[in-house]
Chain A
Amino acid sequence: MERLIEEIPNFFTIWNVIFLAKAMGVTFLLTAIGCLVGFSVGGLLAIFRKTKSIYLLPLRIFIIIYTEIFRRVPFLVSLLLFFYVFQIIKISDDLFLIATITVCIIATAYIGEIIRSGIESINQTQWDAATAMNFTYYQTLREVIFPQAWKVILPPAFGFFIMFIKDTALASQIGVMELTFAAKILNNKGFSPLLSFGTILILYFILSFPLDRFGKYMERKLASNRN
């Protein structure tokens, strides 16, 4: 304990604070890009998954296989697989890029499922009414389904944002300079693990907690609105 108190002034130097802030920025950026892409592409997957046309059947099968695969492989394994694939095809050796692409691919699979179950939560009667009035599939989604489904989609989506903030910790394993890797570096420099890992636990908490609160607030509010 005494050693810890002695160490604190040395730990929180300006250099270290900037170092950690940058790492926190990388963690945030990885998550934000992943969720943004996940939401857009995942939304498209959900939309195509619910189509009925026989011509789109191969696309639907592809979407099912895609989502099943990436929701059943550990993030760490996907990350390493992409890392080594990138080494072979030599497109880029930018570790941040590799991690971002992995996060995007996995986020797309998970968020696509959330959006799909949001679409499915809307009563069939709404589809029938729209179809009987000549709405196309896309018009029905835009005018009727999504304006109702976002209330079902958003609360669990916040849960997944948080999940991705935490999962990006695994990007440290391929050497992306995010929070967890920063802590390992500080630890290797001789700072106590209690301080290094304790600090980033708090920093992760600072990133995640407001989202957690906001998601729960929204869930309560939307639930009470619905009844």
Chain B
Amino acid sequence: MPQIEIKSINAFYDKLHVLKNIELNVSKGEIVSLIGPSGSGKSSLLKMLVGLLIPKSGKIYLNGNQVNFKNQSDLRTIREQIAIVFQQYNLFQNMNVLKNVCIAPTKIQKRNPKEVNEQALTLLEKVGLKDKLNSYPDELSGGQQQRVAIARALCLNPQILLLDEITSALDPELVKEVLDSIRLLASEGMTMLIVSHEMNFVKEVSSRVVFMDEGSIIEINNPKNIFEKPKEKRTLDFVSKILKEK
């Protein structure tokens, strides 16, 4: 049974049809990357999976249970199991690093503060920020903020992690430190959905790659094939163009 099952999902931003008939299954421990031109619906797909975008039609199953997006308790359940890291980090500006990581587990999940604190310290050490516990987001570089955001997402103990273009707001020299944190997670068997423009990274970590364009999934393939011999012409156009740019 797939961990996430997405069945003919359609979603809109106002009048804009951003997700068209999306079908996708993700199994436990899989790392699925979403690639495609900007505005192709990759980020919308991730946003929908945490209920920031409510689909108009279609079905989603999480661990075999259908998610009703109109039901607040269903929304709470998916958000407990799926954590997201945003392109703009979205750290809470009024809280220091440690508080950013600890607030949701203690205040929302009502877990033991001491235990949460310990976990937060471990996670922040893992992403190399143990010495920044009391810093505020605006005192950190983009790369550091993004690593805090990753620690914050992991501290929620999610089953699935969504990464929404987490390196595209970063300076090139900061990209590596963030990707290294993700490689570490990948080796630990976390289920992940990754939207990324870092094609080499995508090729390296993904179990499957999804190519999207204009709100539709055009092709799902393994990383080797999608870059070397894609089935669809649109995939080929996109891939050859983006590889040429590099």
Contact = CB atoms under 8 A, between A and B. Distances in A.
Establish whether A and B are touching in the complex (CB under 8 Å): yes
A139 B104 CA distance: 10
A34 B107 CA distance: 35
B107 A143 contact: yes
Interface residues of A, number: 15
B108 A131 contact: no
A13 interface: no
Contacts of A203: none
A147 interface: yes
Given A134-B79, A135-B104, A129 B93 contact: no
A147 B95 CA distance: 9
Interface string B106-146: 01110000000000000000000000000000000000000
A76 interface: no
Contacts of A147: 94
Interface in A99-127: 125-126
Contacts of B80: 134
Interface string A132-143: 111100010001
Interface in B50-96: 50-52, 76, 79-80, 83-84, 86, 88, 90-94
B90 A139 contact: no
A144 B103 CA distance: 10
Contacts of B76: 134
Contacts of B91: 129
B93 A132 contact: no
A133 B79 contact: yes
B52 A126 contact: no
A125 to B, nearest CB: 4
Contacts of B51: 131-132
B156 interface: yes
Contacts of B104: 133-135
A139 to B, nearest CB: 7
A144 B79 contact: no
B84 A126 contact: no
A125 B108 contact: no
Q: Interface residues of A: mostly helix, strand, loop or mixed?
A: helix
Interface in A145-192: 147-148
Contacts of B109: 134
B52 A128 contact: yes
Nearest to B47: A128
B84 A148 contact: no
Nearest to B49: A132
A133 B158 CA distance: 10
A125 B86 contact: yes
A132 B103 contact: no
Contact of A129 (B90, B94, B107, B108): B90
Contacts of A135: 104, 108
A146 B92 CA distance: 12
A213 to B, nearest CB: 27
B108 A128 contact: no
Given A132-B79, A132-B83, A133-B79, A139 B94 contact: no
A130 B52 CA distance: 11
Contacts of A130: 92
A144 B94 contact: yes
Contact of A126 (B79, B90, B103): B90
A225 to B, nearest CB: 10
B79 A129 contact: no
Nearest to B149: A129
A133 B105 CA distance: 9
B46 to A, nearest CB: 10
Contacts of A133: 79, 83, 104, 108, 156
A126 B100 CA distance: 12
A144 B137 CA distance: 13
23 contacts: A125-B86, A125-B88, A125-B90, A126-B92, A128-B47, A128-B86, A129-B91, A132-B50, A132-B51, A132-B79, A133-B83, A133-B104, A133-B108, A134-B104, A134-B108, A134-B109, A135-B108, A139-B107, A143-B92, A143-B103, A143-B107, A144-B92, A144-B94
Interface of A: 125-126, 128-135, 139, 143-144, 147-148
By Cβ-Cβ distance, the 9 closest A-B pairs, closest first, are A129-B90, A147-B94, A133-B104, A125-B90, A132-B50, A134-B79, A148-B94, A134-B108, A132-B84
